């Protein structure tokens, strides 16, 4: 009996032990599952919404087009051009599938077979030698996750991948991946990479080229064909082999692709019209900020590429000719503006943008010399004078702020012509006559005229400003001259339309036009400026054989040379000089240094267009000035004569602090410079 009781007690105790073990095991399992579920929930907390992909907008390059639809430049932080998935060739897709995810079309975001295979390979190798991430997992990591290595990130990556696969087609996923991937050399996305490495669009890629690009995302720097060509070739050939194994290319295509050399230089684009692009970029950046470089904006600019190329060629040729006779280092700028719209058609801000980015067409403040004189004559015309009215060209000394502050503007070779018409005075750029007009109408009124024309720089209230002694910019001078042609002046227009990546209009150009000159006075100004071409310092331009209007300009010591003028369509200004303000060279005037560049441009931008001068074209007064004629009604007879040591004062009139050049014997009347003593051309043609 005791034996049985003992046996029963042992069995009961054993039973309780087994139950306890089961309970402990159950509790342990529940704890592990709970902890795992908790960790999983914690890992998945804060997952981004997959529908955010519907608003996917990668940093995309802004592109600038010319007036005639040519690509001028790209502006970017990350060089990327978004390419819709349906425009990516299957050959390119296959190259990436072969090397990154051969079972891409057969899994749902996670390739368990590949993951297991990668795990086994890594265990055998004792390190990570093979990755198991699918293309979808890589996309999830690029778009949503931080580049950290832990189990939490892998769990998030797996769940995101499955969610992406539920909402998007395989081709949409592959397209997003190819647009997001970094390929090295600042190229983001397949289209930018194609242009960077091969100078072509994705649609034009060959099997060998597709394989090289597919080889790079794993380690762009390590497999760069420019830095490590041997590694890049091994990796490219591996991709080609994978394409062959997966029946994406034939054996013949494979063998042929293996023989194709790698690219050896980056196919990065240089700007076309670089000075203009920088001008446009600086102005639009003030409006759009960083969006200008990240939002895929499309800018239709105003530059005509044919005219731009003609401008660059003209500047290059003109400076080459100057450097044959002068010390190197001479710079030049050219600006061409459409008269009907105010749109900039061509801009050259220097001889080589890639050496110096300073834009002399818009930023250089230089003295215009006699190119400013037309504003003196316009002021006179606005006050009732006409081109045939007369002014006295004689030596006069003007008093400044004190009796000791004297200034006597002189003509070339100290030759004075007495009574001359306004037309003759401007045609031959007579300094004494021009200052006499400025003194008569009031230098303050001349300055007011210039202000109305949009000059932003300070014009000094001295009579010497009538001869162009105050600094201005080429762009201000060119737009001011446009009003001489039409009577109206535009604000600078440098784009026609700005759109976003989807084609929606962000901004159309606003054309602000201001009427400045009455039609009758416009005709008189064209008369005066035509005479400069026909009989004066701009006569070399007659070779173009069509109606032209303009004015030369030269400053003291030949530091600046100008020509600004127009035909019936375009106003063009050219400046030549040195950044140091040192002389270009002896006798390098507007007519010899700037006008040849202007003529070259005007000849080539309208190549083949020959327009005969209209019958009855405006003529100058001939070689000798007329005497007599109507004087300005408000001016006393004899004004401007015999005023040495006295006369009217318009503020502090100061004699320019300049070195007067030597005076060779001239065969013709040249343009007079502010100091009144310019030299002549060696060939006898009047300088500018």
649 CB contacts (<8 Å, ≥6 apart)? Answer: 398, 399, 400, 401
Handedness of CA 446, 450, 452, 457 (dihedral sign): negative
Check if the beta carbon of residue 625 is closer than 8 Å to that of residue 596.
no
The helix, strand and coil proportions of the chain, stated in percent and rounded to the nearest 5, come to 45, 10, 45
DSSP code for 112:
H
Helix (H) or strand (E) holding 180, with range, is: helix 170-180
DSSP string, 299-349: EEE---HHHHHHHHHHHHHHHHHHHHHS-S--EEEEEEEETTT-BEEEEE-
Query: 546-573 burial string, b = 16+ CB within 10 Å, else e?
Result: bbbbbbbbbbbbbbbbbbbbbbeebbbb
Catalytic residue among 66, 194, 301, 370: 370
CA–CA separation, 586 and 558 (whole Å): 7
Q: Are 247 and 276 in contact (CB under 8 A)?
A: no
Q: Are 273 and 38 in contact (CB under 8 A)?
A: no
C-alpha–C-alpha distance, residues 543 and 310, integer Å: 18
Residue 198 in tokens:
């091969």
- How many Cβ atoms are within 10 Å of 52's Cβ, its own excluded? 10
What CA–CA distance (Å, rounded) separates 187 from 268?
Answer: 10
Q: Rounded CA gap, 252 and 126, in Å?
A: 38
Phi-psi label, residue 384: left if phi above 0, alpha if psi -120 to 50, beta otherwise = left
Catalytic, 148? Answer: no
Q: Are 201 and 87 in contact (CB under 8 A)?
A: no
What are the angstrom distances between the C-alpha of 396 and each of 262, 414, 604, 634, 640? Answer: 76, 12, 44, 19, 7
- CA 112 from chain centre, in angstroms, equals 52
Question: How many helices and strands in the chain, by DSSP H and E?
Answer: 20, 16
Name the one residue in this structure whose structure tokens are 């602090």.
657
Q: Residue 133, SS3? A: coil
| Parallel/antiparallel/unpaired status of strands 398-399 and 406-407 | antiparallel
Sign of CA dihedral 323, 326, 327, 330: negative
Nearest to 408 by CA among 136, 686, 654: 654
Which entry of 60, 74, 100, 191 is annotated as an active-site residue? 100
Closest CA to 197 of 260, 114, 284: 260
Helix/strand/coil (H/E/C) assignment for every residue in 449-501: HHHHCCCCCCCCCCHHHHHCCCCECHHHHHHHHHHHHHCEEECCECEEEEECC
In which region does residue 233 sit, left (phi positive, over 0), alpha (psi from -120 to 50) or beta (all else)?
alpha
- Token readout for 43 is 């890992």
Is 100 marked active-site? yes
Say if CB 315 and CB 347 are below 8 A apart.
Answer: no
Q: Are 651 and 657 in contact (CB under 8 A)?
A: no
Q: Which residues are catalytically annotated?
A: 100, 370
């Amino acid at each position: 009996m005791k034996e049985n009781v003992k046996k029963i007690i042992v069995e009961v105790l054993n039973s309780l032990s087994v139950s306890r073990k089961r309970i402990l095991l159950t509790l342990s399992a529940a704890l592990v599952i709970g902890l795992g579920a908790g960790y999983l929930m914690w890992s998945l907390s804060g997952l981004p919404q997959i529908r955010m992909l519907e608003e996917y907008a990668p940093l995309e390059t802004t592109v600038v087009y010319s007036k005639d639809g040519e690509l001028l430049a790209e502006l970017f932080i990350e060089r990327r051009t978004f390419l819709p998935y349906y425009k990516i060739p299957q050959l390119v897709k296959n190259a990436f599938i072969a090397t990154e995810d051969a079972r891409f079309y057969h899994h749902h975001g996670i390739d368990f077979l590949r993951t297991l295979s990668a795990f086994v390979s890594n265990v055998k190798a004792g390190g990570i030698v093979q990755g198991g991430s699918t293309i979808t997992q890589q996309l999830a990591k690029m778009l949503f996750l931080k580049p950290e290595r832990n189990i939490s990130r892998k769990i998030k990556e797996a769940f995101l991948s499955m969610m992406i696969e539920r909402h998007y087609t395989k081709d949409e996923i592959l397209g997003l991946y190819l647009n997001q991937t970094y390929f090295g050399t600042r190229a983001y996305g397949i289209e930018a990479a194609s242009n960077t490495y091969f100078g072509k669009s994705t649609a034009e890629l060959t099997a060998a080229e597709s394989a090289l690009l597919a080889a790079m995302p794993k380690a762009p720097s390590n497999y760069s064909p420019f830095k490590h060509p041997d590694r890049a070739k091994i990796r490219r050939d591996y991709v080609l082999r994978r394409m062959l194994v997966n029946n994406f290319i034939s054996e013949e295509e494979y063998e042929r692709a293996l023989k194709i050399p790698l690219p050896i230089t980056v196919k990065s684009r240089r700007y076309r019209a670089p000075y203009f692009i920088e001008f446009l970029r600086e102005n639009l950046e003030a409006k759009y900020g960083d969006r200008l470089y990240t939002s895929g904006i499309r800018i239709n600019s105003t530059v005509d590429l044919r005219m731009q190329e003609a401008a660059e060629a003209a500047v290059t040729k003109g400076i080459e000719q100057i450097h044959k006779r002068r010390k190197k280092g001479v710079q030049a700028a050219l600006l061409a503006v459409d008269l009907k719209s105010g749109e900039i058609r061509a801009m050259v801000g220097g001889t080589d943008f890639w050496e110096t980015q300073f834009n002399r067409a818009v930023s250089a403040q230089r003295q215009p010399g006699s190119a400013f004189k037309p504003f003196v004559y316009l002021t006179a015309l606005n006050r009732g004078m006409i081109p045939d009215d007369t002014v006295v060209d004689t030596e006069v000394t003007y008093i400044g702020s004190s009796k000791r502050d004297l200034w006597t503007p002189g003509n070339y070779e100290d030759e004075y012509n007495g009574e001359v018409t306004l037309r003759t005075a401007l045609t031959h750029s007579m300094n004494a006559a021009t200052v006499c007009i400025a003194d008569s109408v009031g230098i303050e009124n001349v300055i007011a005229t210039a202000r109305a024309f949009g000059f932003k720089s300070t014009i000094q209230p001295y009579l010497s400003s009538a001869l162009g002694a105050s600094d201005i910019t080429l762009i201000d001078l060119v737009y001011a001259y446009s009003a001489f042609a039409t009577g109206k002046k535009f604000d600078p227009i440098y784009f026609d339309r700005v759109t976003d990546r989807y084609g929606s209009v962000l901004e159309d150009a606003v054309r602000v036009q201001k009427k400045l000159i009455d039609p009758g006075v416009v005709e008189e100004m064209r008369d005066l400026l035509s005479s400069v071409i026909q009989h004066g310092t701009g006569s070399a331009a007659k070779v173009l054989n069509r109606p032209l209007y303009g004015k030369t300009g030269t400053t003291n010591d030949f530091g600046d040379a100008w020509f600004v003028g127009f035909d019936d369509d375009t106003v063009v200004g050219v400046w030549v000089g040195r950044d140091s303000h040192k002389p270009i060279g002896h006798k390098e005037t507007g007519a010899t240094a700037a006008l040849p560049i202007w003529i070259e441009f005007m000849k080539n931008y309208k190549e083949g267009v020959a327009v005969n001068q209209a019958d009855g074209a405006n003529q100058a007064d001939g070689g000798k000035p007329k005497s007599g004629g109507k004087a300005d009604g408000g001016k006393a007879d004899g004004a401007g004569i015999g005023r040495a040591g006295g006369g009217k004062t318009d503020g502090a009139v100061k004699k320019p602090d300049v070195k007067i050049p030597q005076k060779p014997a001239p065969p013709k009347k040249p343009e007079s410079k502010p100091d009144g003593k310019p030299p002549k051309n060696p060939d006898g043609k009047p300088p500018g």
